[in-house]
Amino acid sequence: MPKQTCELIIESCNDYVIAVKGNQPKLHSHIQRIAALRKPTSRIVEIEKTRDRLTTRTVEVFHELKGIDPKWIGVNSLIRVERVGIRKGKVGY
């Protein structure tokens, strides 16, 4: 999502959520650094076991966002979601 779109959303008194992968390299790099160097404000780990798969989901929320480009107007929180799945018959399951 372009920065200008985020600005329009904020100006209209709304909130936004964006998924960041490699599509925003500079922002992605800042997010990775924040997650590596700071403790999350909150953290939840869920383990789900279905037929042939064991999935672990970790959700972390960060509110300390120093270093993010100020052009990303309205960014107040970072939510990091990590999912790891193992199929039955693989090592460790």
Q: Domain ranges in the chain?
A: 3-87
The Cα 73–Cα 48 span in angstroms is 36
pLDDT of residue 46: 96
Encoded amino acid at 51, one letter: R
pTM: 0.73
pLDDT digits (tens, 9 = 90+) for 38-88: 999 999 999 999 888 999 999 999 998 887 777 777 888 889 899 999 887
The Cα 61–Cα 47 span in angstroms is 18
pLDDT digits (tens, 9 = 90+) for 6-48: 888 888 989 888 888 787 888 888 888 888 999 999 999 999 9
